[in-house]
Structure 1
């Protein structure tokens, strides 16, 4: 015979455990209510008091205290850098058309900062290709940091990638490994590195109008390098340009970490983090890169026309 309580069950099947009358009628069991109340009181007793920025009523996404400490550290580092820059002397800089934004004094100062590291890498016989591919790895991490919204970290990773880009060339020249093969590998890896960084940057601004500026900056940066490569293939030496690779690293890297600081310092006032500084840096990078690509094309065309005449 079928179970009378559940006529649809097969013969021999049981309807399962029966609930108490209180639960069937929708009345909570006294023991269950008491246990729930006890758990609620225990949970309330274990709650930790708010600390740090949350104790000040700042939204959880804001970290003005941490940003203030980081700003002090960065300020000290900048002051020391300016002191070293003031004691750096160079003969003269380029005076031709479209000189780079970072003059010879800045470049000489930074190479002086990197000189001890370069010396140690030469002593350790580190192959330049290792530094080149390390730059690619750091650029991928920078793109991932942009994607995840870790803007301050992404800025420093971008600066580190640019530093490795400088070191690999210096080590190659001192090790006697500089040549056409190394130049080819370096150029190819540089393009992949730029793509990885801009990919993460575009993912971060995917719902913002700044995404258009990211696309322009990525395309213009590639055109800066392509114009030089094409001109050199036609026999025209082309090294001029306002926004070369070091300038692009500086604009994006420093713009990112400055945006990370400003976002959290201004967060208590605005109520949420904002990365308007990073957006402005991307727009500036797009404009400078586009200008540099067009200027290089104009200079190369003038040289080719003069040679043909």
Structure 2
């Protein structure tokens, strides 16, 4: 089971946030855009962190804000009756850009060799693509597999804090580098699992 399976429980947090956003007049799309800004800021902070290790703490904060705003936009859309295909489409596009900002920030900072980093990027994009392709084929959005987006962001968040506290290499890579390795492996396994699910359920 991945953390994506616990979306229902996340509403304990997202619903109060959505209620607060509704009172301030913020729209779901504005929250989505805000999540993109937070992810871009996180990527920039990762890139700067080799020379300024304290930026890892800031990057972790940006990751947390990205996750909160990304979760709250859907809750706000449902609460205000604004849930529609355009909002869903925008949310998925922004999530992909957010994934790239975060991963590329870590890769450009030199925490992991380029080939591994690029394989991780491809795996993350494939995982998302196959999940949404299931929806396009009328099989419903599929979040299954070894590691979903919530799992990945949680691991990166924890690894960021760990790397800030222990900025040393373990077997040639810092903790953030090893998390990218895990992301690379698990994302491709997840993509294959999702492919298998879609293939078996096609008429």
Partner of 2:138: 235
**Matching of residue 290 in structure 1 with residue 188 in structure 2:** yes
| Structure 1 Cα separation of the partners of residues 174 and 115 of structure 2 | 15
Could you say if the C-alpha distance between residues 235 and 114 of structure 1 is closer, same or farther in structure 2, counting changes exceeding 3 Å?
closer
Deviates more, 1:136-145 or 1:158-167: 158-167
Task: Give the whole-Å Cα distance in 1 for the aligned partners of 2:4 and 2:174.
Answer: 24
Does the aligned pair in 2 maintain the 1:159–1:254 contact within 8 Å? no
1:139 aligns with 2:39: yes
Q: Is the 8 A contact 1:139 1:158 kept in 2?
A: yes
Cα distance change of structure 1 residues 295 and 196 upon mapping to structure 2, 3 Å threshold: same
Output the CA distance in 1 between the equivalents of 2:32 and 2:61: 18
- Distance apart, 1:205 and its partner CA: 1.4
Distance, in Å, in 1 between the alignment partners of 2:25 and 2:189 is 40
Structure with higher RCO (Cα < 8 A, 6+ apart): 2
Instruction: State whether structure 2 residue 174 is matched by structure 1 residue 276.
Output: yes
Partner of 2:52: none
Offset of residue 102 of structure 1: 6.0
- Tell me, yes or no, if the aligned pair for 2:57 and 2:161 is still in contact at 8 Å: yes
- Partners of 2:185 and 2:22 lie apart in 1 by 38
Deviations 1:115-158 (A, max 9, x none): 43222112223100111011111111011001101223212212
Partner of 2:93: 188
Question: Equivalents in 1 of 2:123, 2:29: separation in Å?
Answer: 26
TM-score between the two structures when normalised by the length of structure 1: 0.58
Mapped partners of 1:159, 1:178: distance in 2: 24
1:151 and 1:215 mapped to 2: Cα distance?
A: 21
Q: 2:42, 2:102 within 8 Å by CA — same for their partners in 1?
A: yes
Equivalent pairs, count: 195
Q: Deviations over 1:10-31 (max 9, x none)?
A: xxxxxxxxxxxxxxxxxxxxxx
1:169-202, Cα deviation, whole Å (9 max, x unpaired): 1111101110101011111111111222222111
Q: State the secondary structure of the residue aligned to 1:142.
A: helix
State how far apart, in whole Å, the 1-side matches of 2:4 and 2:17 are.
22
CA contact (8 A) 1:152 1:258 kept: no
In structure 2, list runs of 5 or more residues that go unmatched. Answer: 50-54
Structure showing greater Rg? 1
How do 1:221-260 and structure 2 match up within 5 A? 221-237=124-140, 238-260=142-164
Alpha carbons of structure 1 residues 136 and 199: separation in structure 2 relative to 1, 3 Å:
same
CA apart distance, 1:100: 1.6
C-alpha distance in structure 2 between counterparts of 1:159 and 1:287, whole Å: 24
Per the TM alignment, residue 255 of structure 1 is displaced from its structure 2 partner at its CA by 1.1
